[in-house]
Chains A and B, each alone.
Chain A
Amino acid sequence: MSKIKLTIDGRKVQIEQGKTILDAAKKINVKIPTLCYHEDLCVAGNCRVCVVEVAGSRALQASCAIPAQEGMEIRTNTPKVRNARKDIIAMLVSEHNTQCTTCYRSTNCELQTLSAEYNIDNNRYLSILKPNIEVDRSSWSIEKDDSKCVRCQRCVRTCSELQHVNALTVSHKGKDMKISTFHDLPLKDVVCTNCGQCVNRCPTGALTERRYFDEVWEAIGDPTKHVVMNTAPSVRVALGEMLGYPVGTRVTGKMVTAMRRLGVDSVLDTDFSADLTILEEGTELLVRLKKALVDKDDTVKLPLLTSCSPGWVKFCEHLYPDHLGHLSTCKSPQQMFGALTKTYYADKKGIDPKDIVSVAIMPCAAKKFEANRGEMKDSGFQDIDAGLTTRELGHMIRQTGLNFLELEESTYDSIMGESTGAGVIFGATGGVMEAALRTAYEIVTGREVPFADLNITAVRGMEGIREASILIEDAVPEWSFLEGVEMKVAVAHGLINAREIMDQIAAGESPYHFIEVMACPGGCIGGGGQPIPTNEEIRKARVAAIYEEDMNMTLRKSHENPEIQTIYKDFLKEPLSHVSHNLLHTTYRKRQHY
């Protein structure tokens, strides 16, 4: 590829054709401030914060949007540039609800940082903040506060480019321009999947997850309540980012200790129910295959689609309601956990389930909605009382004043605290598929999957859609009908890729037997409840940490989890049993498509 030579602040730099001035500046460590720019998204060039001087041009140029050209002479730090930037930031502040002290994003807000950097005083411009802006708190998952919106459109681009959902869109123009929904309906009434990717990319407090930690603090403080927290696989590789650790650090032991110090009665592991999901969903797959191949039942829906990601599930309900039969009936690990907490766990511990408050710590915004779905009451109570994000847990830990870096490590409580590496890798895209294959292949052939160290690298990685196949040979008698079958699987992450998968299914052209779909880019490690900021580099570091965690586990196959073996022996009997059906499986419904 041909290289371009240009100078930035008098220093020479070479960069590939097609790269922007901003890219070139980064290359020589010249920091140009940005706001609407986000590495995951297409260029907008609308905030104008990143303007620079280009020799020969009267107007300043937005460095994020202008391609570097041969011989360009760029100045990033002249009085003209500084004045313009300061003016632009001051304008943004004049339109903003500057009640920073009461904002959830305070200290992690890009406008606040810029304003501090450029020393914006309060009286350069008059406030043009619109009066009486109501916060949209209609959704279980996401709050939208237009008084804090800087109109960078990152959320709109996220919803369209990464997720292809288009729940958020720009409406009106000029002074009335705003980020809106279809007909300005409340978030709960539109196609929003609650994935929270917009929240992860919002530079300010305009889009945040709906917080429930005050209710959880109340429960912890209530001596009559038994508070159970379970933590999703990907929380342990991201939480550290909020508490002083570098990206990609595993903080499992310290996290467990911290939660115990919060005053939680029992700290348990969602990885347990991830393992359980593998048994249930793996068996569901094999049963569907049997019905299709042996019984020649043409009503069986294949490929089977995973159902762990509630954003993805809701996406199907809105946009592919005619194909819900492909979704596994398995509840997500969070909801399995909740249903068992208030039945099996309560029984074993001798606690009245009405006194249990079950809290799930999730990398996810959609889990909040999922916990509040009407059908998630199979234990006779609301199965999960509160779904908190990784960020909310980070805040709770900060509120306790714990010095996280100095905490000793500890292990999860029992029961439902035991897990395997297979449960852990649920946190990364491809992980559910890998865990399922580790177990299903062994059930069918009696042998371990034929991959070094059980690592099925074909389903790993960051490509939007990945596919793999595995040939079944020497099947055990019970599954002999699968002899010689080449199992075809696919993995997709990010809803734009899910759409491709679903379009294939809708057209009747899907070549696969089993497909894992995660709503968020990178899977749960890139979830809408994870620490902000996010980008591909951060997501890759978290994924690496997940696989490290897996390699460090003694048990790495779900069916080898001793607590799973016990629960089947004592309570569930077998996968897809009557009890399983009642507690661990669910149904889906059609939702409106706007």
Chain B
Amino acid sequence: MKSKKLQRVDFIFDCAGCEPIEVVKKALKMSREEVVSSIIESGLKGRGGAGFPTGMKWKFAKDEVADTKYVICNADEGEPGTFKDREILDVVPNKVLSGMAICAYAIGSKEGIIYLRGEYNFLLPKLNGQIDEFNNNLSKIGLDFAVSIRSGSGAYICGEETALFESMEGRRGEPRNKPPFPTKSGYNGKPTVINNVETLVYTAMIINMGVEEFKAVGTMDSRGSKVFSVSGDTPKAGIHELELGLNVADFVEEFGDGDTKAVQVGGASGHCVPRKLFKETIIGFEGIPTGGSMMIFNSTRSMFNVLNDYLEFFAEESCGQCTPCRIGTQQLIKGVEQVKRGEMQSEYLDQLIKLTETMKIASKCGLGQSVANSFSSIVTNFREEMIY
């Protein structure tokens, strides 16, 4: 598959030609159907990691008949290696709020809530003021919608949309059974659109610049651009918005330190790409999708330690309710440790890869389902590091 060249883009942070409240006004001049179909046509997929088509989400919620609907901004940014939502909320909060307002108009919602990661509470003083001002502006332009903030409760799992609802409703953050999906029964059992911070900004930008201009960026499967959180062995750690569809080789060329051994695309729940696969691996929905986390490892790093860290993270951050995730994560840690110490044969790694397959198909939510990604990609590509 042909990849795109590395191309820097600035849709998110550039504010020239984009006054957020004006974008909302522009949306209000469109019909609700037009707003939704614009987002569908744009091909925008969720930027939180799962990549569900945003426009379809809005359509499902719009088609629901209910007295109350909610728009929730998922700002529980917890994936290891990602920090872009924090920056977006800090620098361009009004763009996020306009995305929420546009969604509210489209689906018929009067209440929006930002679920803000507990560790980001330092953003609150500034953010609260901006929200108040934005809410005022919304009522001035005649949109009956207001946004408030809920501080997250400190668990990675609360970023999973239904666990997030549970948390907001005052219960343990444990994922729900799906269906019903949030667009039918979400927060308080009401139709809910829950979008990632970055996704919401893109919806506003699509309304602002028009579908065609947005679609011109990226590829067939991965429309538009993406904000990446680059970290690890890189001289350019930080936040970079790039056109989607580039390959890992070009990414490494730009961001690596010249000695890059592997790139973990998509955080702990993503995939590890080894050097030999850099060229053929596309960053995007046709290759490896990512919520933005890009961790670069050079040859001084032990991939056994990397994997072990991820596994410990999962074993701690699993909500613990479902068997494959709670026990599977512990088995993986114990298994790789024993293989490393020579207490188990190296073939046991194959048994563990099978175990991650079970976790992938039988876990209740995305957390347990995605442990297989990093586990099998690291164990398969760095098997000797696991054993010796």
B320 in contact (CB, < 8 A): yes
Cα–Cα, bound, A153→B362 (Å):
18
The interface residues of chain A lying within 8 Å CB-to-CB of B369 are 59
Instruction: Determine the chain B residues whose CB is within 8 A of the CB of A106 once the complex forms.
Output: none
Pick out which of these stretches binds chain A: B1-9, B53-61, B291-299, B331-339. Answer: B331-339
Would A174 and B331 be within 8 Å (CB), given that A59-B369, A67-B179, A88-B324 are in contact?
A: no
Determine how close the nearest CB of chain A comes to the CB of B156; give it in whole angstroms: 9
Q: Which of A46, A59, A94 has the most CB of B within 10 A?
A: A46
Q: Is B69 an interface residue (CB 8 A)?
A: no
CB atoms of B322 and A60 under 8 A apart: no
Query: Which of chain A's residues has its CB closest to B180's CB?
Result: A67
- In the complex, chain A residues whose CB is within 8 Å of the CB of B112: none
- Which residues of chain B come closer than 8 Å to A67, judged between CB atoms? 179
Instruction: Determine the residue in chain B with the shortest Cβ distance to A53.
Output: B361
Interface string of B343-374 (1 = CB under 8 A from A): 01000000100110010111110000100000
**Alpha-carbon distance A151/B325, docked complex (angstroms):** 12
Which among B316, B320, B323, B351 is the interface contact of A88 at CB below 8 angstroms?
B323
A174 and B316 in contact (CB under 8 A), knowing A48-B364, A66-B179? yes
**Residues 49-73 of chain A, each 1 if its beta carbon lies under 8 Å from chain B, else 0:** 1010000001110100111000000
A153 to B174, CA, bound (A): 13
Q: How far is the CA of A43 from the CA of B321 in the complex (A)?
A: 13
Instruction: Please determine whether B320 and A172 come into contact, CB atoms closer than 8 angstroms.
Output: yes
Give A168-185 interface residues, CB cut-off 8 Å to B.
170, 172-177
Decide: B316 and A175 in contact? CB cutoff 8 A. yes
Contacts of A80 in B (CB 8 A): 361
User: When A153-B321, A174-B318, A177-B321 are in contact, do A88 and B331 touch as well, CB less than 8 Å?
Assistant: no
List residues of A (34-55) whose CB comes within 8 Å of B's CBs.
43-49, 51
Contact A48 B177 (CB under 8 A): no
Interface flag for A92 (CB, 8 Å): yes
B315: contacting residue among A83, A88, A91, A175, CB under 8 A: A175
Decide if B283 is an interface residue (CB 8 Å cutoff). no
Residue of A nearest to B367 (CB): A174
Taking a contact as CB atoms closer than 8 A, the residue among B157, B316, B322, B354 that contacts A46 in the complex is B322
Contact A174 B327 (CB under 8 A): no
Give CA–CA (A177, B322) in the complex, Å.
Answer: 10
- Cα separation A361 to B355 with both chains bound (whole Å): 48
> Once bound together, how far apart are the Cα atoms of A176 and B314, in whole Å?
12
Known contacts A66-B177, A66-B179, A87-B355; is-contact A174 B329 (Cβ 8 Å): yes
A126 on the B face (CB < 8 A)? yes
**Bound CA span A421–B363, Å:** 53
Taking a contact as CB atoms under 8 Å apart, the answer to whether A177 and B320 are in contact is yes
In contact, B364 and A45 (Cβ under 8 angstroms): yes
B328 contact from A49, A51, A91, A153, Cβ within 8 A: A91
**Closest residue of A by beta carbon distance from B368:** A48
Judge whether B361 and A176 touch: CB under 8 Å. Answer: no
Contact in complex: A177, B179 (CB < 8 Å): no
Provide the residues of chain B in CB contact with A153, threshold 8 Å: 321
Interface flag for B317 (CB, 8 Å): yes
List residues of chain A with CB within 8 A of the CB of B358: 83-84, 87-88
CB-based contact A151/B320 at 8 Å = yes
Which A residue's beta carbon lies closest to that of B316? A174
CB of B23 closer than 8 Å to a CB of A: no
Which of chain B's residues 4-56 have a Cβ closer than 8 Å to chain A?
none
B316 in complex: contacting residue of A84, A91, A173, CB < 8 Å: A173
Tell me whether A135 is interfacial, beta carbon within 8 Å: no
Mark B105-144 against chain A: 1 for CB-CB distance below 8 A, else 0: 0000000000000000000000000000000000000000
Nearest Cβ in chain A — how far from B163, in angstroms?
Answer: 11
Contact pick for B319, options A51, A60, A174, CB 8 Å: A174
Closest 4 CB pairs of A and B: A177-B320, A65-B177, A91-B327, A87-B358
Would you give 21 A-B contacts (Cβ < 8 Å), ordered by A? A46-B322, A47-B322, A47-B323, A48-B362, A48-B364, A60-B361, A66-B179, A87-B358, A88-B358, A95-B327, A124-B351, A125-B335, A126-B331, A151-B321, A172-B320, A173-B319, A173-B320, A175-B315, A175-B318, A175-B330, A177-B318
Add 12 more A-B contacts to A46-B322, A125-B331 (CB < 8 A).
A46-B323, A91-B331, A126-B338, A126-B344, A151-B321, A173-B320, A174-B317, A174-B319, A174-B329, A175-B315, A175-B316, A175-B326
